Structure 1
Amino acid sequence: MAPTPAYALIATDLDGTLLRGDDTVSDRSLAALARVARAGARHLVVTGRPAPRVRPLLADLGCTGLAVCGQGAQVYDAGTDRLLWSVRLDRELAETALGKIEAEVGQVYAAVDQDGVDGLTLIEPGYRMPHPTLPAVRVGRRDDLWAKPISKVLLRHATLSDDELAAVARAAVGSLATVTMSGPGTVELQPGGVTKATGLALAAERLGIGADRAIAFGDMPNDIPMFDWAARGVAMADAHPELKAVADEVTLSNEDDGIAVVLERLFPTD
């Protein structure tokens, strides 16, 4: 009888974690994930990217099952191309939150991810996409951002660092929304109470796998709830200090196949 794998669920962030800087997954990482699958464990992508921006990557990974998208606001079924669960950010509430932040720090530049499997990313004048490879539609004015239901708002400031902007946003917004920082130039507002752990727990329940058999990999503060939920959290070498502080282990960077290094240790034989 084959031995039971150390973990039944491998939850990985994408940007700065599984993906290299050019948005690709290395051959070594792909081989490690294949080894995981042969052992009977499941790989679950848990990303801040909305479902429409994840489709091509899931196809490259050969994923036809579930993925957690939009910072936990979406559980997406790649096999049927539909959202099994999604939470919208109230647009009036989002406008109010932006106003409170701008009252503290002056002008911010905003973008939104629309809800749905075909939702667009809209950016207002002055906003620069942190990932230039991701498609976005520029609108003429902020009011145009609220044309359709949204899952989250992305923020940038001309002079404040991400840490500074996130701290101000949390203090200004309070319980109106959840404030996360998911990468360079990426401070986000999402529905209150929603985190990566929210979507991860729902997806894991559908798969029949408990948190005690899950290991999570990440690199930014938005991965902290995921680490809190899973039995083990592994931070990348160049992860944000806040995440490293709560990680059970620090591996190599995404460019150096940090995930593969850990998985090869945990799943030593095919």
Structure 2
Amino acid sequence: MATSNFKNIRLVASDLDGTLLVHSDMTAQSGGAPSPRARTVIHKLADKGVRFVLASGRPPRTMDCAVEQVGLDNVLTICCNGGLVYDPFNKNIVKKYSIPNKDICSILDTIIKCLGPQVCLGAESGLHFVCDENYVKERNDFLDHHYIVRKPMEFLQTPEDTIEKLVIILPGMPAEKLNERLLELFSSDHWKQVVNITFSNPHSIEISAAGISKGSALEDLCQELGVKAEETIAFGDMPNDSDMLKFAGTGVAVENAHPSVKEIADRVTASNVDDGVAIVLEEVLEQLS
């Protein structure tokens, strides 16, 4: 493979789970940690003025641990697939890209009518997680954080409430198949102006506002920082990373990535457990030195 040109890189954006993080004996909440090799090269790049962005489908409450593991004091975080930009140091939301409140009940009603009463529904609402009883029963072993139980049509309680990401699980149906079903369900021109549908794990589907993704949030961040797309490099492994990889000057998929992500990536590196991110960042560092 020809050597990539990284001499102008000013910003690195990376997905966490399955990309930057190496699963080991870490807690379920953290989902792993960056390898010492990755952490070392990230800090060396930061010393040269390169900004680092953690971009995840995760909500803010599970980003703090990852930020601590990276160990930078100016890291930026994109949460909920671009629905939130979060300041992990002051513990506050910097920017929201919410699903319009007027559409929430219609979206949920459409899903329930199509998938049936057994569907499990959850919502990332600012710093809070709201879900129905089905969701609690299905994911009880993984709900190691505070959550609010409400009927789906009551997820929004006040005009000030917002939802940045809906989470849908249909017991017995893999996420890839459920994703196809929901894409078909929301395939009309109307719905394409309302929702963006993706997935980042084998179990659940994630819905955000139309046009909102890790890529759109990264683009906004870059504009605010005065960084051009060609001055960025992004890493990912799942379909919810695709827009981010397309936006970046260089989009890199890890070897363990979903086939659709490898297809759109500019480059495929080694897997997350084989330090794929660190391998490429070391090339960046060498060219910046």
Q: Which position in structure 1 is the counterpart of 2:281?
A: 263
The Cα RMSD (Å) is 2.4
Greater alpha carbon shift after TM alignment, 95-104 vs 41-50? 95-104
CA contact (8 A) 2:108 2:153 kept: no
Q: How big is the shift at 1:135?
A: 2.2
For residues 69 and 63 of structure 1, do their structure 2 counterparts lie closer, same or farther at Cα, with a shift above 3 Å needed?
farther
Q: Which position in structure 2 is the counterpart of 1:111?
A: 122
1:190-269 equivalences in 2 (<5 Å): 190-268=208-286
Q: How big is the shift at 1:53?
A: 2.5
**TM-score, length of structure 1 as denominator length:** 0.88
Q: Which position in structure 2 is the counterpart of 1:84?
A: 94
Q: Give the counterpart of 1:35 among 44, 50, 75.
A: 44
Q: How big is the shift at 1:79?
A: 4.0
Q: Which string of whole-angstrom CA distances, capped at 9 and with x for unpartnered residues, describes residues 54-104 of structure 1?
A: 123213322433222221122223344332221222345223223223333
Q: Which string of whole-angstrom CA distances, capped at 9 and with x for unpartnered residues, describes residues 23-74 of structure 1?
A: 2221111012112112321111111112233123213322433222221122
Q: Give the counterpart of 1:93 among 83, 93, 103.
A: 103
Runs of at least 5 residues in structure 2 that lack an aligned partner in the other structure: 1-5, 24-30
CA contact (8 A) 2:174 2:202 kept: no
Provide the rounded CA distance (Å) in 2 between the counterparts of 1:266 and 1:185: 35
For residues 70 and 134 of structure 1, do their structure 2 counterparts lie closer, same or farther at Cα, with a shift above 3 Å needed?
farther
Q: Which position in structure 2 is the counterpart of 1:122?
A: 130
Greater alpha carbon shift after TM alignment, 122-131 vs 73-82? 122-131
Are 1:20 and 2:22 counterparts? yes
Q: Which position in structure 1 is the counterpart of 2:167?
A: 154
Percent identity between matched residues is: 28
**TM-score, length of structure 2 as denominator length:** 0.82
Q: Which string of whole-angstrom CA distances, capped at 9 and with x for unpartnered residues, describes residues 193-245 of structure 1?
A: 11111110111122221101111100011111111111111111111111111
CA contact (8 A) 2:169 2:204 kept: yes
Greater alpha carbon shift after TM alignment, 121-130 vs 200-209? 121-130
CA contact (8 A) 1:74 1:83 kept: yes
Provide the rounded CA distance (Å) in 1 between the counterparts of 2:66 and 2:111: 33
Q: Which string of whole-angstrom CA distances, capped at 9 and with x for unpartnered residues, describes residues 239-270 of structure 1?
A: 11111111111112212211011111221386
Q: Which position in structure 2 is the counterpart of 1:49?
A: 58
Runs of 4+ in structure 1 displaced over 6 angstroms?
none
Provide the rounded CA distance (Å) in 2 between the counterparts of 1:216 and 1:100: 35
For residues 31 and 51 of structure 1, do their structure 2 counterparts lie closer, same or farther at Cα, with a shift above 3 Å needed?
same
For residues 93 and 203 of structure 1, do their structure 2 counterparts lie closer, same or farther at Cα, with a shift above 3 Å needed?
same
Runs of at least 5 residues in structure 1 that lack an aligned partner in the other structure: none
Q: Which position in structure 1 is the counterpart of 2:149?
A: 139
User: Counterpart amino acid of 2:40?
Assistant: A
Provide the rounded CA distance (Å) in 1 between the counterparts of 2:236 and 2:224: 22
Q: Which position in structure 1 is the counterpart of 2:73?
A: 64
Q: Which string of whole-angstrom CA distances, capped at 9 and with x for unpartnered residues, describes residues 124-165 of structure 1?
A: 223244993762526264345334422111011112221111
